Chain A
Amino acid sequence: MGLYVGYHGTNVLAAEKIISSQKFILSTGEDEWLGIGVYFFWDADDAGWWCADCLKLKTYTVLQADLEASTVVDFVHRRGDLESFKKFCNQVKDKSSKMGNGKKRQNYMGLAIKMMVALQKPDIIIGGFDQNRKIWFNNAELKSKFPLVVSQVQMCVLNRDCIKNISVYKEVV
């Protein structure tokens, strides 16, 4: 059993609806890196960054929730998961280089995630990204001098039953 605390930033109205219904809608954007699910940040400040810097919201709410999962694919903390996923990506790549319309497939990562979820759905996928950490390493010289990587950790909850005890963590008004 994996137990986590996640933070999700959104506008005030949506946050009120989520709190009253204790329910999230799945995120469905085509560029969702970890698949279709409800996205949480590991760090509450990143949820605030998402609202203020990405969504350009002047007022927003950061929600906190407990995440209780049976099956977790963790690309940040478990090297074995990453190695298995790489192997899986290679097999997927070898099996399908063309899409149904005959065009060459460009995005194997997206297909691999979709295929992974379709064949054996985990409750949560955890991934690390460098989105708002790039300022630390904005050129090659600094990168070599300061090689420390502190990922922005995102948790994609595919099984909404895992989300418990949704509450308001912070309001910016």
Chain B
Amino acid sequence: MENKKYWESLFCKLDGLTEDEFTDLANELDAAGDIPFAIEDCEVTIIDIDCVGTYSAVYCYNNKSQYKLDKDDFTYNEAA
């Protein structure tokens, strides 16, 4: 029953999107890539990852600066 509610709600939300809204959301998701914690106003790219799975270090850059994911508070901070 729980899952029926989940799918009903999902389809309801999908159906509620106009084509433009859908395209905007899809583009937003494309642009965000798979980076969970976005740096504000930056398009970031992961350039180096070690320790796949639990990622002891994730580095990103936005054409200006390099950022490192803080393992404790899960935010990106400018790398030294």
* Cβ B3 vs Cβ A25 within 8 A: no
Q: Mark B49-64, 1 if CB is under 8 A from A, else 0.
A: 1011111101000000
Chain B residues with CB under 8 Å of A24's CB are 54
A122-B6 contact, Cβ under 8 Å, with A17-B71, A28-B58, A100-B30: yes
Q: Mark A46-78, 1 if CB is under 8 A from B, else 0.
A: 000010001100000000000000111110001
Chain B residues with CB under 8 Å of A27's CB are 52-55
Count the B residues whose beta carbon is within 8 Å of the partner chain — how many?
37
C-alpha spacing A117/B29, complex, angstroms: 10
* Cβ A120 vs Cβ B54 within 8 A: no
* Cβ B34 vs Cβ A25 within 8 A: no
Q: Mark B6-35, 1 if CB is under 8 A from A, else 0.
A: 110111011001010011011101110111
Question: Is B39 in contact with chain A by the CB < 8 A criterion?
Answer: no
C-alpha spacing A88/B23, complex, angstroms: 15
Question: Is A141 in contact with chain B by the CB < 8 A criterion?
Answer: no
C-alpha spacing A11/B51, complex, angstroms: 7
B residues contacting A by CB (< 8 A) are 2-4, 6-7, 9-11, 13-14, 17, 19, 22-23, 25-27, 29-31, 33-36, 46, 49, 51-56, 58, 69, 71-72, 74
